[in-house]
Chains A and B, each alone.
Chain A
């Protein structure tokens, strides 16, 4: 039962976040904006369309969206909602989660290169570099959780029950902040990437999918929502763990945390110059290492 509820909540989060982002942007810009479910309608249209494939591409291009979405689904099945239980859970599933998403990244990079387009190559090269640089941040983030909670699987980490503890709260809030930052990078949002830009030269994720249409594009969108939901749920779980809150706290938090923060950042901030992105991402990794170190010192009960 808990597993079914958990899965449904993840799906709900995945669906709700893009809606919240769109609404936030609209409200902040003083526009009427698109309805909350517009992104669902868009994907629904895509799923019913035919497709055009480039003559340059091979079979890899056609199977790539299935692998991309499949990997995102399996990754999402590993994420618990607060103290609920996910379908897939074992010791060390944090690693499996990171590498399943890496599979998704590899396949979409290859698919982009398969078209032989210079624009898509550009996006693929950037995605490969940023993906490589964000990986340490992700792993050290998980290591911080493992260090403080004493477990290596998401379900055990977030099930961790304890009365209020200042050290735990500090580390968990910092980790949540880290994962929100990682969400920005992994789901291709401002300031790293701007899904709404109109110029292919400055895109990252969008430019990789230029040649996809119809069902393929729909699958890629859904996978993107799931990925965003995974990371924001991890961040929300970290916050929830500070006070033993349950799923009714974590789910809205995950939706609002990412929805509002992405919406606000996208309304108020311009995206980075591409050359600054590397610095931005390496800074996140450095931040992750710093948080780990703080966690280590607190764990040793050294007063800082």
Chain B
């Protein structure tokens, strides 16, 4: 029944999108997504605030027994995030794709929109499925839809490569998940997540958990499985990067949270918590250091997503450790922090990718050192990007701060109570360093793009994007500001989930977190009011005085030119000199030598590649290539050969069954 209706939905959707005229396709897709989002949001809100777990339908699956679609607070939280991001993405896509409408065929655009709606729908299915076959089905649908979306600009060589790398890595993850579900099925006779409890109770927690951690971690971008992210995001259109980076990688987080939930044994939970914490620390640090040295806006944002996944995992790890040692308050605080950070990241990261999309559609590049002074030409984009930058640096008064504050608070509480002190201190050290380097990475990103003087003539020719795109960007912006300024109410979105994890979370929330957030809210408002007053004071005072304009002070040097200003590369040079062992630098061209008094024309281009990438260029990849080539010989393209293969296959099956082997 479920699969038939899914098939029907897909067919109808595809037909509708392919049949509508070119300019209306986006609106059809938008309507479909909004409908999906609203119809999913109603039960989600019910589950999140009413605490009602709702079963939507029963599914009888061909493999792992019976499954169901149901919404509990954890799924509800993700459903809401997916819905909001999905609607914003659709709205944004119109402006972004506008100039592709003449280049690409109608079929191409239809396929793109179909994949986009299917991606949103499949993500929702992933988070409301109870596991087993329907989960894997939705998971695979999600992978394929996102693969098609990345392929949008397929004529570019690197897009093709990135998309293929993505597809391959996702399928390695998929195999791990299939193995995971199969082992659940083997142990309990059904493939639901709920049956993990049975598996975990018979002493095989660690292997199964690690299987799921690897499978989901592939999607989430855990180190060292993150390599697809920085390749896929620059390749995909910006609105696709926004939804992939903002929401899709969170399905990996969802999966791990779902799995973690069933680990009941305290000792095992302690080990699992440590694993998650360690994974979070390594992922976060690796992500942020590589983000800071990137010279491409979208690659930088992709690495920053990896870092944020790391931060989320640090929070989850601390929470699990605290729960394992019976410290309920710390567990709740850290879990609330991790969940809120998950929600927050989906907002500011999609906003940042939308911003990068605006830049790309105006200047056709995302290389940092081609920009400069964009704020003067694209003021709205500059303001929205600024808000997202402050939010992602986790600074007050915006939402990023609230999430990280709770994670920090969890760690400090853990330290002050003297449980898991060393682990919490490790997490604290890592998170502080991550926080510091994020500031470096994002001041670099913002300043080289929006501030200073233009480094390229394209900047001067750019203009602000259409209002629809700004409207789409306003959706996450509103959420960012609301969560930042009114955290005491915003915490309610994760309350239900925290309660689901830890039964007496409500008392911790009401007695500890919410009063604290009230005070933070007051502090934040005070900050804003003081800043406003200072600015008004300054503005008034300057009215009666001479305020003039002049060129930037060149420290006595009068022949300054635009090319002398700091570039993104020079901004992060200090960090690069420290982190030189983590990156593999490829240099094209030659730098100006010290002895050249009158330098000639030089071309110099440096790229900082991930050392982990090398793993994928190692000997075993070569081996795979060779094996592939051998196998490819079978693909002759002649129909008679294929019939022969089919016949041989049947013969083999026949012989095997003769000997009772299958």
Cα A188 to Cα B571 in complex, Å, equals: 19
Interface residues of A in 168-211 (CB under 8 A from B): 200, 210-211
B593 contacts chain A at the CB level, 8 A cutoff: no
Is there contact, CB below 8 Å, between A113 and B526? no
Interface residues of A in 63-117 (CB under 8 A from B): 63, 65-67, 69-71, 73-74, 77, 88-92, 94-96, 98-100, 102-103, 105-106, 109-110, 113-117
A269 contacts chain B at the CB level, 8 A cutoff: no
Which residues of the partner chain B approach A235 to less than 8 Å between Cβ atoms?
Answer: none
User: How many inter-chain residue pairs (CB < 8 Å) link A and B?
Assistant: 258
Is there contact, CB below 8 Å, between B520 and A96? yes
Interface stretch of the complex, out of A4-12, A24-32, A34-42, A54-62: A54-62
B440 contacts chain A at the CB level, 8 A cutoff: yes
Using known A-B contacts A99-B395, A116-B453, determine if residue A106 contacts B439 with beta carbons closer than 8 Å.
yes
A162 to chain B, nearest CB (A): 16
A125 contacts chain B at the CB level, 8 A cutoff: yes
B218 to chain A, nearest CB (A): 29
Cα A89 to Cα B571 in complex, Å, equals: 36
Which residues of the partner chain A approach B62 to less than 8 Å between Cβ atoms?
Answer: none
A119 to chain B, nearest CB (A): 5
A2 contacts chain B at the CB level, 8 A cutoff: no
Interface residues of B in 370-429 (CB under 8 A from A): 372-373, 375-376, 382, 386, 390, 393-396, 401, 404-405, 408-409, 411-413, 415-418, 421-422, 425, 428-429
Cα A109 to Cα B450 in complex, Å, equals: 13
Q: Which of A114, A125, A289, A292 has the most CB of B within 10 A?
A: A125
CB-contact partner of B396 in A54, A73, A99, A118, under 8 A: A99
Interface stretch of the complex, out of B132-140, B537-545, B615-623: B537-545
Cα A143 to Cα B432 in complex, Å, equals: 11
A20 contacts chain B at the CB level, 8 A cutoff: no
Cα A289 to Cα B437 in complex, Å, equals: 18
**What 1/0 mask marks residues of chain B from 489 to 531 whose CB sits below 8 Å from any chain A CB?**
0000000000000000000000010011001101100110011
Interface stretch of the complex, out of A131-139, A247-255, A257-265: A131-139
CB-contact partner of B412 in A88, A115, A143, under 8 A: A143
Which residues of the partner chain A approach B393 to less than 8 Å between Cβ atoms?
Answer: 102, 106
Which residues of the partner chain B approach A159 to less than 8 Å between Cβ atoms?
Answer: none
Cα A146 to Cα B440 in complex, Å, equals: 28
Using known A-B contacts A110-B443, A117-B560, A124-B443, determine if residue A143 contacts B428 with beta carbons closer than 8 Å.
yes
Is there contact, CB below 8 Å, between B534 and A66? yes
B79 to chain A, nearest CB (A): 30
Cα A215 to Cα B535 in complex, Å, equals: 10
Count of A interface residues, CB-CB < 8 Å: 83
A122 to chain B, nearest CB (A): 7
Is there contact, CB below 8 Å, between B439 and A132? yes
Cα A108 to Cα B394 in complex, Å, equals: 16
Which residues of the partner chain A approach B527 to less than 8 Å between Cβ atoms?
Answer: 70-71, 74, 100
Is there contact, CB below 8 Å, between A50 and B545? yes
Cα A138 to Cα B565 in complex, Å, equals: 32
A299 contacts chain B at the CB level, 8 A cutoff: yes
Is there contact, CB below 8 Å, between B572 and A139? no
Residue of A nearest to B421 (CB): A296
Is there contact, CB below 8 Å, between A99 and B401? yes
Cα A57 to Cα B382 in complex, Å, equals: 13
CB-contact partner of B516 in A66, A90, A102, A118, under 8 A: A90
Residue of B nearest to A133 (CB): B436
Cα A140 to Cα B431 in complex, Å, equals: 11
Cα A115 to Cα B440 in complex, Å, equals: 18
Residue of B nearest to A130 (CB): B574
Q: How many of chain B's residues touch chain A, expressed as a range? A: 35 or more
Cα A35 to Cα B372 in complex, Å, equals: 45
B550 contacts chain A at the CB level, 8 A cutoff: yes
Cα A171 to Cα B450 in complex, Å, equals: 46
B447 contacts chain A at the CB level, 8 A cutoff: yes
Interface stretch of the complex, out of B104-112, B204-212, B551-559: B551-559
A121 contacts chain B at the CB level, 8 A cutoff: yes
Using known A-B contacts A116-B562, A117-B560, determine if residue A143 contacts B415 with beta carbons closer than 8 Å.
yes
Which residues of the partner chain B approach A51 to less than 8 Å between Cβ atoms?
Answer: 542, 545, 547-548
Is there contact, CB below 8 Å, between B396 and A96? yes
B549 contacts chain A at the CB level, 8 A cutoff: yes
Is there contact, CB below 8 Å, between B435 and A113? no
Is there contact, CB below 8 Å, between A219 and B451? no
Is there contact, CB below 8 Å, between A147 and B549? no
Is there contact, CB below 8 Å, between B429 and A73? no
Which residues of the partner chain B approach A91 to less than 8 Å between Cβ atoms?
Answer: 409, 512, 516
B16 contacts chain A at the CB level, 8 A cutoff: no
Is there contact, CB below 8 Å, between A129 and B440? yes
B401 to chain A, nearest CB (A): 6
Is there contact, CB below 8 Å, between A52 and B443? no
Which residues of the partner chain B approach A88 to less than 8 Å between Cβ atoms?
Answer: 519, 522-523, 526
B388 to chain A, nearest CB (A): 13
Which residues of the partner chain A approach B409 to less than 8 Å between Cβ atoms?
Answer: 91-92, 95, 152
* Chain A contact residues, CB within 8 Å of chain B: 47, 49-58, 60, 63, 65-67, 69-71, 73-74, 77, 88-92, 94-96, 98-100, 102-103, 105-106, 109-110, 113-122, 124-126, 128-129, 131-136, 138-140, 142-143, 146-147, 149-152, 200, 210-211, 214-216, 219, 278, 289, 292, 296, 299
16 A-B pairs whose Cβ atoms sit less than 8 Å apart in the complex: A54-B550, A55-B550, A99-B394, A114-B451, A115-B452, A119-B554, A125-B571, A128-B443, A128-B571, A132-B440, A133-B436, A140-B428, A215-B538, A215-B541, A215-B542, A219-B538
The 3 closest A-B pairs by CB, nearest first: A121-B566, A132-B436, A113-B447
Instruction: List 10 additional A-B contacts (Cβ < 8 Å) besides A140-B428, A215-B541, A289-B425.
Output: A49-B545, A50-B545, A66-B532, A92-B408, A96-B523, A135-B436, A143-B411, A143-B415, A214-B545, A296-B421
